[in-house]
Structure formats: structure tokens, C-alpha cells
Amino acid sequence: MGTDGPILELRAAQPSFDESGMAPVPVDLRLMPGDCAIVDCRDYARATLFADLCCGMVALASGSVRFMGLDWTALGDRQLYALRGRIGRITRRESWLDLFGTHQNIILQQLHHTTRPTDDVVAEAMSLGQAFGFPGLPLTSPGRLSAADLARASCVRAFLGRPDLLMLEDVSDMLPPDATVALLEAITAARDRGAAVMWFARHGATWAEYRPAVNVHLRLLDEGLFPVRGV
């Protein structure tokens, strides 16, 4: 599933304050295939809410949010969920189900949204897992993994299945240094095949090594989303 237009487009999207608690200010943003937007945001919760807004999970008072040319508000439930299956997310929100092992958590999205053979999905997850520093795929319950291993597992889950949009919240405080290079390589590979990336960062140091490859730099504040000069 590809698109010639923007992957993600927010047109004067004003979140509903009553339902989300986000400041009701209009936000404009346009991410083309291959774009990488760094969003400076010191507040983890605000970053998560903004990512939710981009994924059509926050009600709008006005404006529109389009993903791959489709307006979230114009979609029915089935289409909406199917479209979200094209988004890879690293989130700081509690997102691991203790009902399953970590390996099942990682491949769950792919198993749910695609008809790819399970062996293929597992093989791709194994390969990504090794790139991010796992010996294979962790089978234990997510509750028993360290924060560092959960951050690695989040990366594997986000990049699995060639998503069209990557929403990466800042896990640099948990991600071990050996996995950072793998993260940058995975971002580059995803952009090369046409995915757009939105990377939330708390500090400049998080993405300093990737600075030359970044083409959009924004700052997310309570007052809205503002462009930053000098990328």
C-alpha cells in the first residue's frame, strides 16, 4: 500500500479539549514519504497524546488529520483499525499485555492485520530482535523483562512489518547504547522504502547523531506545534 501524497497531514487540526485535555489550538503538519520529523517535547504524556492525535485517537473540534490520504473521522471502525495497523509505534504508555509472552506481544499486530505466514513474521521478528541486541525473541512475560529489554522489544515491534508511518516516542533513557545504532539504521531503512518518521525527543542528544538526515524539526508545547529553524 503506497501513496504519492503526504503520509500524514494535519490541517488546522484542533483537538477537543473536553475529551483529550490537549490545548485546543490548531496544528498543521505534513509528512511526505521518507520524511523524518524530530519533535522536541519534554513531556512524555504530551508526546503520547500528540501521537494519539496523529493516529486518529483524539476527537477533533475542527480541522482534519489524514493518514495516507484518508481522513480518520471519515472512516468506519473496521477501516480505522485496519489503517492503524500500518503504523509502527514506540510508546511510553503501558502497552504490553501480560496475557501473552513478549514474543507474542511483538508479533500480535502483524498476525492480526496480515495473512503473512506466521513463520515469516517470526523470522522477521527474530532478525530485528538480533539487530536490536536480543539473542532471539524473548519468550518470557513482559512483566519480567528489564526496562532496557522492553525498550528493545518496543523497537522490534514498531519496525516489524514495514509500517508506513513510525511514531517513535523517546525511549533513549531506557534503550542501551548498543541498540541505538540499530535504531538509527532501522529508521534509515524505513525511510528508504518510503515510510515517514515522527520521532519525539526530550533532548538534542537523543538524535544528535542523526541530525544531518533530519529534514523537519518541530517543537511541541502546550501552545501548539512550532517549527524550529536550523536543521
Partner 1 sequence: MTGGAAAPTPTPTEAADGRRPGWLASMPGRVRPALAWLGRLTRHQVRFVLVLIGSAWGVVRESMRPNAWRRTVRDEFRLCLSQVVGGGFLSTVITATLAGLMVVSQAVYWLGFAGMAQMTGSILVSVLVREISPVLVGIILLGRSGMLVLTEIGLLTLGGQIRALQAQGMDPFLLLVLPRTCAFMLGGFTLGILFATNALLMGFIITHASGVITTSVWTFFANVLGAMSSWDFVVIPLKFILVGFFVGLGACMTGLLADVDDTIATLMPRGFARGIMTVMVVNILFSLWG
Question: Which positions touch partner 1 (CB under 8 A)?
Answer: 51-52, 55, 57, 77, 81-87, 89, 91, 93-97, 99, 108-109, 111-113, 118
Nearer to partner 1, 48 or 210 (CB): 48
Nearer to partner 1, 89 or 191 (CB): 89
Least separation in angstroms between CB 155 and partner 1: 15
User: How far separated are the first and last CA of the chain, in Å rounded?
Assistant: 30
Are the C-beta atoms of residues 129 and 164 closer than 8 Å to each other? no
Residue recorded with cell 504530551: 46
Query: Taking the complex as a whole, how short is the minimal distance between the CB of residue 34 and partner 1, in angstroms?
Result: 23
| C-beta of 149 vs 217, nearer to partner 1 | 149
Is residue 78 within 8 A of residue 118, CB to CB? The reply is no
Residue pointed to by grid coordinates 541498540: 179
Helices (H) and strands (E) in the chain, counts: 8, 10
Walk across the sheet containing 224-227 and list its strands: 87-90, 165-168, 196-201, 36-40, 216-221, 224-227
What does residue 13 show for φ and ψ, rounded to 5 degrees?
-75, 115
Residue 191 CB, nearest approach to partner 1 (Å): 21
Q: Which is nearer to partner 1, 111 or 231 (CB)?
A: 111
Q: What is the C-alpha to C-alpha distance for residues 115 and 33, in angstroms, rounded to an integer?
A: 25
Question: Cα–Cα distance between 141 and 145 in angstroms, integer?
Answer: 7
Which CB, 59 or 231, lies closer to partner 1?
59
Q: How far is the CB of 52 from partner 1 (least distance, A)?
A: 7
Nearer to partner 1, 95 or 146 (CB): 95
Q: Least Å distance between CB 186 and partner 1?
A: 18
Q: DSSP letter at 11?
A: E
Three-state DSSP at 53 gives helix
Q: Smallest gap, in angstroms, from Cβ of residue 2 to partner 1?
A: 18
